[in-house]
Structure formats: C-alpha cells, structure tokens
C-alpha cells in the first residue's frame, strides 16, 4: 500500500516523464521497458480485436 506522499511522487514522476505506467499499472523508469510494455499491450489488444472480443464500456453491435 502506498502512502499519500508516495502516490504524489509517483504522479509527479509520471507527469514529468521520469516514469512510465501501462494500463495494467506496471511502473518503470526505463524508457525501453515502458515501450516494451506498450508494445505487448498493443499486441494483446490487437489479438482481442481479431477474435471479435469487445472491451469494457464498448457497446456490442
């Protein structure tokens, strides 16, 4: 569990570009790891779309 001070520091790091966070909440200060997380997330999303899966908050047709 993070304290309010730790959370504030995380938010400042994210806003300033010192840290990266993906949709699953993974945090890193390494730009390469941040890009790898984004790529793997994009690949997963593309696979879900190929299968016709609908994400949360998206109405089905």
Q: Which two tokens stand for residue 24?
A: 């699953």
pTM, two decimal places: 0.55
Main-chain dihedrals φ then ψ at residue 20, nearest 5 degrees:
-130, 145
DSSP class of residue 49 equals: H
**pLDDT digit string (tens) for 9-49?**
889 988 898 888 877 788 888 888 888 888 888 898 888 88
DSSP class of residue 29 equals: S
């Amino acid at each position: 569990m993070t304290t309010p001070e730790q959370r504030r520091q995380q938010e400042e790091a994210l806003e300033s570009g010192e840290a990266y966070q993906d949709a699953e909440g993974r945090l890193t200060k390494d730009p390469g790891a941040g890009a790898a997380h984004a790529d793997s997330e994009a690949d997963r999303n593309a696979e879900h779309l190929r299968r016709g899966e609908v994400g949360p908050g998206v109405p089905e047709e």
